Amino acid sequence: MTQNSLLRFRKLSLIFFAFILTAVSCSKMPPGGDDEKKTIFQRIASDGRFTILTAAVNKAGLTTALNSKKNNLTLFAPTDDAFRSAGLGDPKVLAEIDEQALKNILLYHVLGSEVKSRDIPQAANTAVTTLANSSIFVTKTANSRVFVNGISVIQRDLDCVNGVIHALGGVLLPASGNIVATAQSNPDLSFLVEAVLRASQGSTNVAAVLSSAGPFTVFAPTNKAFQDAGFPTIQSIQAADPNTLTKILTYHVIAARVFSSDLVNNSTPATVNGGTVKILLSSGAQVKGNSNTVPSNIIKTNILTTNGVVHVIDRVLLP
């Protein structure tokens, strides 16, 4: 082979080798472009954090809606840990939920348009209508943290071809009634319900107030909290002076919708009673009455009602 032929052969070999490298590299490149994004359903189905949500979507018959590229949606997606914390981690529990009820819960997590975190205004508890035709309350803080009904968004802006997903640290439950009706449905608040009914026999109809439009926030003492405060039985509440009960009960009410994400350490919000309570967050969420020697622990937060929100506490607040 002449020297010119050898040089030409080497040149062709290098070109061929470069072509092979390029082809191999291109075959290993991740897919890109809007056409290759996953749909919302594909995204949750392929993400190990959302296995319970995926199963719930399938059971509720919402797979097609979340998979359609014709839609443009926002999904606030509870993680598996969020479902477990809500007592919905066992597949048997999920299987027992009525399909329509499950669908309503899931649609309460979906907006009918794409809303990325940059589109959320910096404000507290902005009401936004969901596909369940009821409102969630979205907060964006000064440091850009986002909360929905007081529950933290733990990852924002998972982009999809048919919208966006925000991963959520809790399950959103739509309101089932006003504050009074919600308390009546909770067996651990039966003493509180009886106290409201007894107080309403006095000069102020407390039940009517707590059933009105509001919004209100109620720190709701458990049955044991009432017992520890000197009301050992329902009969002891029924025998109490209505106006005394009114003074105590209205001290547990704030005339605003205050989720746990709105609580500020060492703040002293005013109550409907006219006095103030003190919020303490350094040792967990707590609230203290002026005459209490120790604060009450807030043991369950953000129970949404049609006219406000309820937080369950383990001590009766004393004005």
**Residues 139, 263 within the same domain:** no
Is the domain of 90 the same as that of 161? yes
User: 59: which residues sit within 8 A by CB, 6+ positions away?
Assistant: 94, 95, 97, 99, 102
**Residue 304 included in any domain:** yes
Same domain, 102 and 6: no
Per-residue pLDDT at 192: 98
High-pLDDT (> 70) share of the chain, %: 89
Instruction: Write out the two tokens for 183.
Output: 């308390």
d(CA 174, CA 133): 10
38-73 pLDDT tens trace: 999 999 999 999 999 999 999 999 999 999 999 999
Q: Which two tokens stand for residue 24?
A: 């191999």
Domain for residue 48, yes or no?
yes
CATH of the domain at 250: 2.30.180.10
Residue 10 confidence (pLDDT) = 42
Residue 128 pLDDT more than 70? yes
Same domain, 3 and 21: yes
Residue ranges making up the domain that contains 88? 34-168
Decide if 174 is inside a domain: no
Express each pLDDT in 250-272 by its tens digit: 999 999 999 999 999 999 999 99
Looking at the domain assignment, is residue 147 inside a domain? Answer: yes
- Residues 147-199: tens digit of each pLDDT: 999 999 999 999 999 999 999 999 999 999 999 999 999 999 999 999 999 99
DSSP code for 231: -
* Phi, psi dihedrals of residue 30, rounded to the nearest 5°: -65, 150
CB burial class (10 A; 0-12, 13-18, 19+) of residue 266? Answer: exposed
Residue 117 lies in a domain: yes
State the pLDDT at residue 36: 67
* Token digits of residue 216: 């209100």
CA dist 157 → 116, 130, 165, 192 (Å): 6, 18, 6, 42
Domains identified in the chain, total number: 3
d(CA 85, CA 73): 26
- Assess if residue 318 is contained within a domain: no
* Helix residue ranges, H only, the chain: 3-28, 40-46, 51-60, 63-67, 80-85, 91-96, 99-107, 179-184, 190-199, 206-211, 223-228, 234-238, 242-250
pLDDT digits (tens, 9 = 90+) for 133-152: 999 999 999 999 999 999 99
My answer on whether 221 and 121 are in the same domain is no
pLDDT the model gives residue 313: 98
One domain, residues 57 and 149: yes
pTM: 0.85
Note whether 8 and 38 are same-domain residues.
no
Q: Is the peptide bond before 30 cis (omega within 30 degrees of 0)?
A: no
**Residue 265's pLDDT is what?**
97
158 and 238 inside one domain? no
Is residue 210 situated within a structural domain? yes
- Does one domain contain both 23 and 60? no
Q: Considering 113, 137, 168, which residue would you say is the last residue of a domain?
A: 168
Return mean pLDDT, the chain: 89
Query: How far apart, in whole angstroms, are the C-alpha atoms of residue 216 and residue 207?
Result: 13
Torsion of CA 31, 34, 36, 40, to 10 degrees: 120
Both 24 and 45 in one domain: the answer is: no
Answer yes or no: is pLDDT of 35 > 80: no
Domain assignment of residue 173, yes or no: no
- Does one domain contain both 52 and 150? yes
Q: Which of 137, 168, 199 is the last residue of a domain?
A: 168
Amino acid identity of residue 244, one-letter, is: T
Domain boundary among 120, 143, 168: 168
Same domain, 202 and 95: no
